[in-house]
Chain A
Amino acid sequence: MPTIKIDGKEMEVPAGITILQACEMAGIEVPRFCYHERLSIAGNCRMCLVEVKPGPPKPQASCALPVADKQEIFTNTPMVTKARNGVMEFLLINHPLDCPICDQGGECDLQDQAMAYGYDRSRYHENKRAVPDKELGPLVKTSMNRCIHCTRCIRFATEVAGTEQLGATGRGESMEVTTYVESALQTELAGNLVDLCPVGALTAKPYAFEARSWEMRKTESVDVFDALGANIRIDTRGGQVMRVLPRLNDDVNEEWISDKTRHAIDGLRHQRLDRPYVRVKGKLVPATWDDAFAAIAARLKPLDGSKVAAIVGDQCDAESMVALKDLMAGLGSTNIDCRQDGAKLEAGVRGSYIFNPGVKGIDQADAILLVGTNPRWESPVLNARIRKRYLSGRCLIGSVGPAVDLTYPVERLGAGPASLADIAAGKGSFAEKFKAAKNPLVIVGMGALSREDGAAVLTMARSLATVRDDWNGFAVLHTAAARVGALDLGLVPGAGGKDVAGILAGAASKEIEVVYLLAADEIDMSKLGKAFVIYQGHHGDAGANRADVILPGAAYTEKPGTYANTEGRVQLGQRASYPPGDAREDWAILRALSERLGKPLPYDTIDQVRARLIAVNKSFAALDQQSPGAWGDFGKAGTTADAPFVSPVANFYMTDPISRASKTMADCMASRTQLMAAE
């Protein structure tokens, strides 16, 4: 461990780190534009200059200089101050003074650092250079005059997103950051470019001129658009969600989020259910909560519990799910299911339905087998993590399932269960290498499990997994944010209960007379037959369309909620704004309804509901922690069909009621369809 001296303070630092990192460890701020922790080092902005002894008598770029023993570093000498002043002056030669109309204003690195390290005036009177703006698709707005050529966007696109489309053309004064061929970026992570840009050259198109950073209230929460549970910050102004930004969590999303997480929020403003509705003579008419509850009570009270069923949606919080479970138990019904897609997962063995090694485990894997999944669309940030693993080298990646571009090379091993059976039997070179690997990782997607033979596929995948004390290589990649929480709470058919297929069949044969949909929109509503449908949710989507009674609930930004992500990590979402109109928090609606039905639920506050969560499953007591689940027997050996695995996410941009209501997501889809048609 080299010993160095920073500004006279002696310290020991790990070998191999850069001077900038060492300064950070010492708590000394070094200004920078091009350096970013998660990207390769470019060293081209020259803002991080420091004085280093021994060395040449000139300032050095600290981001690209490794520490050495007995080095002396100075960050506040006159030489350093003057050098940074000069660099800042150079950067501002061509940077327009349009901060008042720039969306980055108030959260701009250049603005802040110009205040801290720059001169108070410019000595340049020449005209500034003018650069044509580029077209980068529906999410990224460009204003290339403001670009300072830090190349962070180029490095992000090339390294993290895996789409080598951005580059710097020309040289010197003519240098431009561009795609050259004017095309939308083909990535699901484009929004992160806006976060990375230290100036206002890349800003968010949907958010253009919407708000200023200092006007908004910031709420730390959790994303529900995919099962990764990315950590997010929701910025609201006057009750409206203005934008969503990523929060740092190295174990989950690092500091990236997908475009759907970031930009589907305009769907929260459209198609909202803001008051109860009751169907009268075939038409939904607005009603009061009292009318709606009365209509439900009239229908439910005389009914035997076995004729009632409930289906849970993909974005529900654990609180509402446990309330629904308790309500159904009170009504004497065991017909409850959370697996809208018919995934053949059981609630018993926790290790059978979570991403056991955790997202962090991907970094340790040395062989990855994807089974029936397209992670690029099912969870783009997790896919970026696999790409990161690929880039660090010596990792074997194979896939049985959809043939798609995952942004990293994948050995295609087949499309369906037959190919998986071959690998399980040890046939082929991949199978041999996979067996020999130290930390092999099997990632099973819903495309492999949401089929008739899902249980048999699950068994095969289990046989491929290596489970030791220090490694559990069995990982299920869910598509629904609520799924793991629901399975933890046991929202699966009880004794003699019906699953989703059974409920739909029962509705057709009139065995089931009342179906309670808790924000469940992904089932085939036409199969509900003549059943009385209660829909509780936040968007006027498929479920609300079919419903006989609509109870308006809250979207994920409007309620405090507990979510377990695909790794089984329990995370808390916070309320950032309030539900519109008469809509209420979901668990509270169920609590009120239970009162009307004469089976009051035994909790009145959210804290009591959370105590109940922990009583049902202890995993809810450990917030933001992840460990492999209990291991045991699961799945069912059986014959498999020949049909290839198909990813359930046919369209990344529209997977749920919120994103289906989002205009931005529709624009993204259009831009991608054009691209795909052009290819």
Chain B
Amino acid sequence: MAMITADPKDVPQVASFAFTPENMEKVKGFIANYPPGRQASAVISVLDLAQRQQGWLPRVAMNEVARILDMAPIRVYEIATFYTMFQLKPKGKYLLQVCTTTPCWLRGSDAVMKACQHAADGETFSVQEVECLGGCVNAPVVQINDDFYEDLDEASMKKVLDAFKRGETPKPGPQVNRQTSAPEGGPTTLKGE
């Protein structure tokens, strides 16, 4: 097994982090969700907001979150390193989280992975292999930022990625003729009145 280390040392140095005024308002909203003195409960929401603002979570951002929520910085580091959704290294504009767990793998996630890895340049696209995303009915599934793209194969994956590259936002959901998890090509039962 490779050496593991929680604190990534090969990350670019970020000098400082501050929430934008709009985001600061949101932070206050998150804190207001909890009783006074329990502001630390808002830590996950606030960290997520920081990540959305910065694109990833540099240590200065975590320190800022700790300051705002009056927590020891180590308590924030613990949370940020625990959840895989928090990115402690810079990512491309689009984070491709490819599910490779058994159902997706059986339905061809290897080919989808290949297409993603081909497109990954670290700036526009970054690829991450993840465990089950919970969309097995529509396997294989890739999560791109906040959206699921489903029923993919190598070609449709390429099409989606090309669209993102052009600056468009392709429609999330199944990339075949199918409404959410309904049968492909339309309903097969309960057709009558």
Contact = CB atoms under 8 A, between A and B. Distances in A.
A627 interface: no
Contacts of A119: none
Given A129-B1, A169-B81, A176 B75 contact: no
B7 A169 contact: yes
From B3, B4, B74, B81, residue with most partner A Cβ within 10 Å: B74
Contact of A167 (B4, B5, B59, B77): B77
Contacts of B3: 130-132
B90 interface: no
A669 to B, nearest CB: 24
Interface string B64-88: 0000000011110110011000000
A173 interface: yes
A178 B1 contact: no
A364 interface: no
Contacts of B72: 158, 164-165
B78 A130 contact: no
Contact of B77 (A128, A169, A171): A169
A679 to B, nearest CB: 13
Nearest to A171: B82
A168 interface: yes
A100 interface: no
A174 to B, nearest CB: 5
A170 to B, nearest CB: 5
From A126, A129, A130, A167, residue with most partner B Cβ within 10 Å: A167
Interface string A592-634: 0000000000000000000000000000000000000000000
Contacts of A164: 72, 74-75
A674 interface: no
Given A132-B3, A164-B75, A165-B74, A170 B81 contact: yes
A677 interface: no
Contacts of B73: 180-181
Contacts of A180: 6-7, 73-74, 77
A166 interface: yes
Interface in A149-194: 158, 164-171, 173-174, 176, 178-182
Main secondary structure of the interface of A (DSSP, over half): loop
A651 interface: no
Interface string B1-16: 1011111000000000
Interface residues of A, number: 24
A580 B2 CA distance: 52
A125 to B, nearest CB: 13
Contact of A176 (B1, B4, B59): B4
Contacts of B81: 169-171
A322 B146 CA distance: 80
Contact of B7 (A127, A158, A178): A178
A485 B85 CA distance: 62
A167 B74 CA distance: 6
A176 B6 contact: yes
A181 B1 contact: no
Given A174-B6, A176-B6, A180-B6, A166 B74 contact: yes
Contacts of B59: 181
A132 B1 contact: no
Nearest to A128: B1
Contact of B78 (A129, A167, A173): A167
B4 A131 contact: yes
Given A167-B74, A180-B77, A173 B6 contact: no
Nearest to A158: B72
Contacts of A166: 74
Interface string B81-113: 110000000000000000000000000000000
A169 B6 CA distance: 6
Interface string B24-46: 00000000000000000000000
Contacts of B78: 167-169
Contact of A129 (B4, B6, B74): B4
A129 B75 CA distance: 24
A461 to B, nearest CB: 34
Contacts of A131: 3-4
Nearest to A129: B1
- List 3 tightest A-B contacts by C-beta distance, closest first: A164-B72, A169-B6, A167-B74
Given A132-B5, A169-B77, A176-B5, 20 more contacts: A129-B4, A130-B4, A131-B3, A131-B4, A158-B72, A165-B72, A166-B74, A167-B74, A169-B6, A169-B78, A169-B81, A170-B6, A170-B82, A171-B81, A173-B1, A176-B6, A178-B6, A180-B6, A180-B7, A181-B7
Interface of B: 1, 3-7, 59, 72-75, 77-78, 81-82
23 contacts: A128-B1, A129-B4, A130-B1, A130-B3, A131-B3, A132-B5, A158-B72, A164-B72, A164-B75, A167-B77, A167-B78, A168-B78, A169-B6, A169-B7, A169-B78, A170-B81, A174-B6, A179-B74, A180-B7, A180-B74, A180-B77, A181-B7, A181-B59
